[in-house]
A and B are shown apart, each in its own frame.
Chain A
Amino acid sequence: MHVEINQDTPESIENAGMQNNTDENLMGLVAGGDKDAFAVLVRKYLPGLLNFFHRMNVYSGDRDDLVQEAFIRLFNYRAKYTPTAKFRTFLYMIARQVQVDYFRKQQRRLSLSESLKEEVEEPGITNARRGKEEDRKEMVAKALETLSEEMKCVVVMSIYQGLKYAEIAKILNIPVGTVKTRMFHALQKLGKAIEYEG
């Protein structure tokens, strides 16, 4: 009789394992203190979180700190994570809380809006130097600014983070129907705010 054992090297298995692992599995490893698995998750979700904080009007100089804070909280809460919950939902719940805490603690939303306006307007570059596409983007960005915090959060999570409505509902702790209704009205409002040229 003969034993057939897979001859994959430990390294190749480990690499393939990390790549093939679901986020939930990786988070399971993180729960056991595995920093390599944590690094994989950080690299995967860091751009998305930067984008999230950007779209939620976090001042550009603070975004890195908020991303860092979100991942540190993720690591500290790792024991509370259960594999039955979708990892992405868990992460964005944390990120949303970090963002809420940020605005609440610093109470700088108004000044932030002013900073962002400055960023968008980019003093020194005249409108004449911009193409039509930039103008349109600016218009859309400004329109997004007009949304309420509640509506903007739903739009940002759906459009820019690619989260499903059910996930957004879980993150914001609201009914999924409310998410869809907010999204619907937000799009209607944005449509009105955006002026298009023929």
Chain B
Amino acid sequence: MRFKSLGRQLNMKDNRSFYVDEIKCPGPEQVMDFLGGEMDDVAAEAVKRHLGLCSSCRIMLNDLSATMSELKSLDEEHGAREDLVEKILHAVPDVGSETGLVEHAFSLQVFLRLAAGFIVISIMILGFGLLRSDLSYGPGVAVRSESLESDVSGKSVAVVKTLQWLASVQQSSGDWDAVSWGGKREYSLALNGLALLTFARSGDLTGMNTLVMDRSVKYLLRCQNEAGLFGSENDEMMYNHGIVSVALLEAYAVTRDPKLKASVDKALTFIRGQQLNTGGWGYVNRPGEIANTPVTLWQLQALLLSAKLGWEDKGYSLKRGLRWFSSMVDNGGQLGYERPSHFPEGSTTLTAMGAFCIFSASGVEKVPDTGMLLRLKQALDALKPEDVRTDYYGSYFKAAALKSLQKTGGQDGRLADLQHSLIAMQESSGGNAGSWSPNDRWGGVGGRIYSTAVAGLTLGLISRNTDTTVPF
């Protein structure tokens, strides 16, 4: 039985001035909030008290509520329609046939911008003789004259393609199966860290990228043991641990996830615990172990980043590490591997690592010797374009060092050269479109996940114009 209607005939406008026991009759918006369950508890209680005192409103609300119930009784269940689902799935384009998400969304305007960019860059490439076949990344590299570096809404298309490829080969469990892409099993975690780093530093944390990062972070956290170490205890553990720690710190920098913070805390404690008495880090903290520049670099990067994010430098670990790093610089401004002027695999990458790390520490730690900074700068200035274009890993640190040296404005010609080279070598078609062939000196160790992540990171840092919370 439904109330006939005093309430239905109420004119709410007139009724607004109607008070019962100092509680105003609710207006249409409040009524609908109340009936729709979208009113907070305090307000709903006030309305209920009012209804206990005001019969007009009580009847009106009863009527409206009854009408809603009647309407709901019409609701029909539309069951599963697998035939229609299949039809819809058939009608949408296949992922494999797409040339990429970004291209798909291009408006005519963006297309024209790209076309203009393509023409300009092609002219540059031809004009400056940058179309070379003697790139240092490995034999048989097909150099494309096509350029993909035009930006879309500030994003580097080549980097977007990098992320798309990495996303496409991420496992559902959140890891990248580095081994199946040609990497060594013992470096698997480090390679996962590099891939995560590519996303965390991309500056594009929307849609797919956020998901990829989230999955990767969860996977890596599952790989951390009680002591805070990521992965197994072996000779490569500090490489793996350092790189993963840096990647998770970068992820923390953009997400501020408290769970991540706790994990990073433990990771940093592990790093401090592995520091050698000399201040550097070796492969394992054991008697007789000698610190080396590459392993120390990753631990220092983690500590530097943590300092920038507000972590305390417990035990002066960062300060001692930087002091060790500085002690590796020789009179020519070059960093040695285990001691000054010690270059078992060449000097340029080690020097770039040192310069990058020491330059990016300014503002966090005082660098004791300004003369050493000058020597480092001179060593970097002496690098020729071909010294910068070496292997993906080396090029990355050289680009990072040059970038940290380049304070404002202008583009270092060597970075532009490196950028063109990397873009030219990015796979443009097939299932590996967006990736890089692992054809450099470290390709046999890192495989395609390494080459793609590091090339993508390098392009990302070259194209980045502004400072971020991260060291570079």
The stretch of B42-50, B89-97, B120-128, B286-294 that contacts the partner chain: B89-97
Q: A155's contact among B71, B104, B171, by CB below 8 Å, is which?
A: B71
- Residue A116 CB within 8 A of the other chain: no
Please indicate the chain B residues that have their CB under 8 angstroms from the CB of A11 in the complex.
Answer: 172
Please indicate the chain A residues that have their CB under 8 angstroms from the CB of B92 in the complex.
Answer: 35, 38, 71-72, 75
- Total residues of chain B contacting the partner, CB 8 A: 65
Chain A min CB distance to B393 (Å): 25
- Residue B64 CB within 8 A of the other chain: yes
A-B contact count (CB 8 A): 175
Q: A83 to B72, alpha carbons, bound, how many Å?
A: 31
Q: Taking A3-B223, A72-B92 as contacts, is the C-beta distance between A50 and B81 under 8 angstroms? A: yes
Q: A72 to B88, alpha carbons, bound, how many Å?
A: 7
- Residue A10 CB within 8 A of the other chain: yes
- Residue B84 CB within 8 A of the other chain: yes
Q: A47's contact among B36, B72, B79, by CB below 8 Å, is which?
A: B79
Q: A31's contact among B171, B208, B215, by CB below 8 Å, is which?
A: B208
Chain B min CB distance to A23 (Å): 13
- Residue A170 CB within 8 A of the other chain: no
Whether B64 contacts A188 by the Cβ 8 Å rule is: yes
Please indicate the chain A residues that have their CB under 8 angstroms from the CB of B64 in the complex.
Answer: 184, 187-188, 191
Whether B28 contacts A68 by the Cβ 8 Å rule is: no
Write the chain A residue with the least CB distance to B37: A164
Q: Which of A145-187 contact B (CB under 8 A)?
A: 155, 158-160, 164-165, 177, 180-181, 183-185, 187
Task: Write out, one digit per residue, whether chain B residues 90-132 have a CB within 8 A of any chain A CB (1) or not (0).
Answer: 0111110010011011000000000000000000000000000
- Residue B206 CB within 8 A of the other chain: yes
Q: A75 to B105, alpha carbons, bound, how many Å?
A: 11
Whether B207 contacts A83 by the Cβ 8 Å rule is: yes
Please indicate the chain B residues that have their CB under 8 angstroms from the CB of A28 in the complex.
Answer: 206-208, 210-211
Q: Which of B66-80 contact A (CB under 8 A)?
A: 66-68, 70-80
Chain A min CB distance to B164 (Å): 7
Write the chain A residue with the least CB distance to B232: A3
Chain B min CB distance to A78 (Å): 8
Please indicate the chain A residues that have their CB under 8 angstroms from the CB of B76 in the complex.
Answer: 51, 54
Q: A2 to B231, alpha carbons, bound, how many Å?
A: 8
Please indicate the chain A residues that have their CB under 8 angstroms from the CB of B412 in the complex.
Answer: none
Whether B32 contacts A10 by the Cβ 8 Å rule is: no
Q: A13 to B171, alpha carbons, bound, how many Å?
A: 10
- Residue B313 CB within 8 A of the other chain: no
Whether A159 contacts B8 by the Cβ 8 Å rule is: no
- Residue B227 CB within 8 A of the other chain: yes
Please indicate the chain B residues that have their CB under 8 angstroms from the CB of A192 in the complex.
Answer: 8
- Residue B465 CB within 8 A of the other chain: no
Q: A61 to B226, alpha carbons, bound, how many Å?
A: 62
Whether B84 contacts A191 by the Cβ 8 Å rule is: no
Q: A34's contact among B74, B95, B222, by CB below 8 Å, is which?
A: B95
Of A3, A51, A136, A185, chain B has the most CB atoms within 10 Å of the CB of A3
Please indicate the chain B residues that have their CB under 8 angstroms from the CB of A75 in the complex.
Answer: 92-93
Whether A13 contacts B33 by the Cβ 8 Å rule is: no
Q: Which of B222-272 contact A (CB under 8 A)?
A: 222-223, 225-227, 229, 231-233
Write the chain A residue with the least CB distance to B10: A188
Please indicate the chain A residues that have their CB under 8 angstroms from the CB of B206 in the complex.
Answer: 28, 31, 82-83
Q: Which of B380-432 contact A (CB under 8 A)?
A: none
Chain A min CB distance to B239 (Å): 15
Chain A min CB distance to B211 (Å): 5
- Residue A144 CB within 8 A of the other chain: yes
Q: B77's contact among A31, A47, A159, by CB below 8 Å, is which?
A: A47
Whether A68 contacts B88 by the Cβ 8 Å rule is: yes
Please indicate the chain B residues that have their CB under 8 angstroms from the CB of A47 in the complex.
Answer: 77-81
Whether A42 contacts B38 by the Cβ 8 Å rule is: no
Q: A1 to B38, alpha carbons, bound, how many Å?
A: 53
Please indicate the chain B residues that have their CB under 8 angstroms from the CB of A2 in the complex.
Answer: 225-226
Chain A min CB distance to B432 (Å): 16
Q: A93 to B206, alpha carbons, bound, how many Å?
A: 21
- Residue A95 CB within 8 A of the other chain: no
Q: A160 to B207, alpha carbons, bound, how many Å?
A: 29
Please indicate the chain A residues that have their CB under 8 angstroms from the CB of B171 in the complex.
Answer: 10
8 A-B pairs closest in CB distance: A32-B208, A79-B105, A14-B172, A184-B28, A47-B78, A33-B95, A31-B207, A180-B32
- Would you mind naming 7 contact pairs between A and B with Cβ atoms under 8 Å apart? A4-B225, A10-B173, A17-B172, A17-B215, A164-B38, A190-B71, A191-B66
Residues of A within 8 A of B (CB): 1-6, 8, 10-11, 13-14, 17, 25, 27-29, 31-35, 38-39, 42-43, 46-48, 50-51, 54, 64, 67-68, 71-72, 75, 78-83, 136-137, 140-141, 144, 155, 158-160, 164-165, 177, 180-181, 183-185, 187-188, 190-192, 194, 196, 198
